[in-house]
Amino acid sequence: MRLTAREIAELAGGRVEGDAAAAVSGIATPATATSAHLIFVEDARLLENALASAAGIVVAGPFAAGAAFHGALVVCDQPRLAFARAARVLAPPATMPPGVHATAIVHASAGLGRDVAIGPYAVVDEGASLGDRVQVGPGCHVGAGVRVGAGTILRSHVVVYPGTTIGDRVILHAGTVLGSDGFGYVRDAGSGRYEPFPQVGRLVIEDEVEMGTLCTVDRGALGETIIGRGTKLDNQVHVAHNCRIGRNVVIAAQTGIAGSSVVEDGAVIAGQVGIADHVTIGEGAILGAQCGVPTGKVLRGPGTLFWGTPARPIRQVLKELATLARLTRKKV
């Protein structure tokens, strides 16, 4: 596949300076690029290095307007986004050919859409439904009655429990488990014994969600756990039962969210954040790495960065640290 500078500019909503018919067939870094490659630069301080590369096309921000370059220059407001869109065309992810592998086990009552691919040793149980162009990788298990939307990809060894609905164009990376029982127990005050509380709810994954490797998302106890459209989970993220994660939320690796918590649309959660039960993270809020959010806490403020344990606005944390530093310097 090839893209011209004109086509890349159309993807980016930008303009071409130089030969609009110049074409590339791959992506690279400035250090490794050849004339067949597209690169990008979003920092004016790195522009000189990019323009000195052998790349055929450079995507850059408005700061590059009028710059001299031997190839074609695509100037746009969001060069990283433009590069990512072009990369999906020039370097698409690997896909499986349609068909059911001879070692796969697919129940006779399962519904398969057009051009479905099911890999070696995968299992699709009774009453499951796979939409058009779904890919089920090696060793996956799709449980009874599960619904998987069109264009969704399950990489190897993904497990989807019964009671789960997955939307369109979802990507689930290796080892992720969806719809397992939540961590719900009731303690007998007399004996001290813990007995299981029913975990019979559902899990709903909306369209265009992506989850990294080894994520776990529990079904609702009696109701639903919901992951909203366009949300992205990094590797090893855990979402417990009855949580509601909004749309276009980003959650980095090793974050854990306890039961019945709510994360509203557009929130950003950094790595190793611990969120207790019944917490609300407001729309557009940002939680810095290793935050700890106690039970029942409500954190609101679009664009506000929270940090520390217990999590609080970063300005407050920095004032507290500065005060502590002054106190430790005082002579006793």
Q: Which of 6, 18, 5, 12 is nearest to 78 (CA)?
A: 12
Residue 241 is a catalytic residue: yes
What DSSP string describes 165-186?
EE-TT-EE-TT-EEEEPP--EE
Mapping DSSP to helix (H, G, I), strand (E, B) and coil, where does residue 41 land?
strand
Helix locations, 93-137, DSSP H:
none
Structure tokens at 49: 């290095």
Mapping DSSP to helix (H, G, I), strand (E, B) and coil, where does residue 79 land?
helix
H/E segment holding residue 307:
strand 305-307
Structure tokens at 126: 């009774």
Half-sphere exposure of 282 (CA within 13 A, CB side): 11
| Contacts within 8 Å (CB) and 24+ apart, 267-272 | 271/234
Contact in structure between 208 and 229 (CB atoms under 8 Å): yes
Residues 69 and 60: their CA atoms lie apart, in Å, by 12
- Whole-Å CA distances, 324 to 146, 249, 285, 321, 327: 54, 34, 27, 5, 5
Catalytic option among 37, 157, 173, 241: 241
Residues serving a catalytic function are 241
